[in-house]
Amino acid sequence: MSLTQTPPAIPPPDVVVDGREQSPVVACPTREPKRRAAGLLDGEAVAVVLIGAMAMAATFPGRTHGLGMITEPLLRDLGLANDGGRVFYASLNFWGTLIGALFCLPVGWAFDRLGGRWVLAVNLLLLGASVIWMSGAESWQALSLSLVLTRGLGQSALSVVSITIVAKHFSSRRLGMAMAWYAVLAAPFHLALIKGIGWSLDAESSNWRSVWSGVGWGLMLLSVTAVMLRNPSGRAETKQHENQHGLSLSQALRTPAFWTFSLTISIWGMIYAGVALFNEDIFRERGFDRSIYFNVLAVVTVVAIASKFAYGWLLNRYRLTTLLATCLLCTSASLAGLTIATEVWHAYAYAVGLGIASGAVAFLFFATWGRLYGKRHVGRIQGVAQMMTVLASAVGPLLFSVSKQLTNSYLFLFQSLAGIVLLLAFAAWMTPLPTNDLDSQSAKGSTS
């Protein structure tokens, strides 16, 4: 070979996982522009984050707080506005949530195979059609099926699609701040929906069906935003390399990190679902009035936003398991502290701790899977994790209500959960990360 001839490229060393050689997740390191390295987003990246945030807000009709806005007029229309009818509706909703959780699996597979544009468009069209159909339900059978579809296509499937849109677009180094912006921007879209639908229901209190039908048509119209999704510009070879490598779903399921993150975040979601539903009653039991309860909610919201940005910045500097352990410690301290709260400042201290934890958990759930396991199968991996959180959140309110009924207090449950979450924090701290995760590669790159 002549001295001027370019030597052949040396392939990167394989990584051994469960005794078999695997291609490494991470592409060869490249120099990113200073703007990107600083965590700033270019125009195309902003569009991706906005589309992802709007898609997450569009899950609203399939979530508890969305369905809760039409529950009373719906029950009156169907002749279920009594104690027995409410229990029956709650049962339909419970099973709709459980069955709908299964939608996470095929949509993750479809995203990995077909890409975000078509999956997002079809998901929004089907969800819109389901909401329109629910607006015309005249029997409990039609209501039951529409609950399964709105829960499955909204809370489950569209959540997976929304998160995966962002996870597949950004490199490991940029994923942290991108997910922080995504999590924060979804909030105002949610609030706009709540305010708009609430105003419409007040204006047409006797006709919830027209309002809900309008939401369905709006979702179908929103599907046109999917045409804005495309393969990211820039370093095409690097991007293609990143998207073609990563652990498969079966390989991810064999790592301790998957179960640590998915189970702990699912348990956290179960706790938060119960707390969110019975928060006012919980505060009343501790001797706090309704005004304190609303103030605490505001503090939790503001602190959670700051927490998402903070953890987005910390993502490239500390191990994911360390970040998970810290937010679990905040959760344990908040739960334990509320059991002895007697002063107003105790309630606000609880709000700060819960706000830090809620923002961190939401952010980590968005950012973990693509960072640990690469982009190739992140849709499927995200789908399994999302299914687990949906199932757990369905159990949360039931757990809190049964505990209150059996003990006539939330005290024992809060003390028990504080201890369990503390143990989970230590488990997270000790959990090893996959040997070819993006965390370790990113840390190496930052020191070189």
pLDDT per residue as tens, the chain (448 positions) = 444 444 444 344 343 334 343 434 443 444 444 444 444 456 677 888 899 889 988 998 888 778 877 877 888 888 888 767 777 887 888 888 889 989 988 888 888 888 888 999 999 999 999 999 999 998 889 999 999 999 999 988 998 898 888 888 877 677 777 877 887 788 788 778 877 887 888 775 558 899 999 999 999 999 998 888 865 444 443 444 444 567 888 899 999 999 999 999 999 988 987 887 677 788 888 888 877 877 887 788 788 888 988 888 888 888 999 999 999 999 999 999 999 988 899 999 999 999 899 889 988 888 888 888 887 788 888 889 888 988 888 888 778 888 888 888 889 999 999 999 999 999 999 999 886 544 444 444 433 3
R_g of the chain, CA atoms, integer Å: 23
Q: Is residue 212 part of a domain?
A: yes
Q: Is residue 185 part of a domain?
A: yes
pLDDT for 162-206, tens place per residue?
Answer: 888 888 887 767 777 787 788 778 878 877 887 788 788 877 555
Q: What secondary structure letter does DSSP report for 20?
A: E
Q: Are residues 223 and 174 in the same domain?
A: yes
Rounded CA gap, 437 and 246, in Å?
A: 9
Q: Are residues 131 and 275 in the same domain?
A: no
Number of domains in the chain: 2
Q: Are residues 82 and 208 in the same domain?
A: yes
Q: Is residue 445 part of a domain?
A: no
Q: Are residues 168 and 283 in the same domain?
A: no
Rounded CA gap, 340 and 64, in Å?
A: 30
DSSP string, 272-290: HHHHHHHHHHHHHHTT--H
87-97: string of b/e by CB count within 10 Å (b at 16+)? eebeebbeebb
CA-wise closest residue to 233 among 393, 25, 42, 30:
42
Rounded CA gap, 189 and 56, in Å?
A: 9
CA-wise closest residue to 311 among 423, 438, 446, 181:
181
Q: What is the CATH number of the domain that holds 425?
A: 1.20.1250.20
User: Which residues, at least 6 apart from 278, have a Cβ–Cβ distance to it below 8 Å?
Assistant: 397, 400, 401, 404, 410
Q: Is residue 74 part of a domain?
A: yes
Q: Is 364 helix (H, G, I), strand (E, B) or coil?
A: helix
Rounded CA gap, 382 and 365, in Å?
A: 9
Q: Is residue 342 part of a domain?
A: yes
Q: Which of 209, 231, 253 delimits the end of a domain?
A: 231
Q: Are residues 77 and 226 in the same domain?
A: yes
Q: What secondary structure letter does DSSP report for 375?
A: S
Q: Is residue 239 part of a domain?
A: no
Q: Are residues 253 and 180 in the same domain?
A: no
Q: Are residues 224 and 372 in the same domain?
A: no
Q: Are residues 67 and 174 in the same domain?
A: yes
Q: Are residues 143 and 214 in the same domain?
A: yes
Q: Is residue 444 part of a domain?
A: no
Q: Is residue 31 part of a domain?
A: no
Give the domain extent around 309. Answer: 245-439
Q: Which of 176, 196, 231 delimits the end of a domain?
A: 231
Residue 289, both tokens: 């009035």
Q: Are residues 132 and 170 in the same domain?
A: yes
Q: Which of 204, 231, 258 delimits the end of a domain?
A: 231
Q: Are residues 266 and 377 in the same domain?
A: yes
Q: Are residues 124 and 76 in the same domain?
A: yes
Other residues' Cβ atoms within 10 Å of the Cβ of residue 291: 8
- Which amino acid belongs to residue 412? F
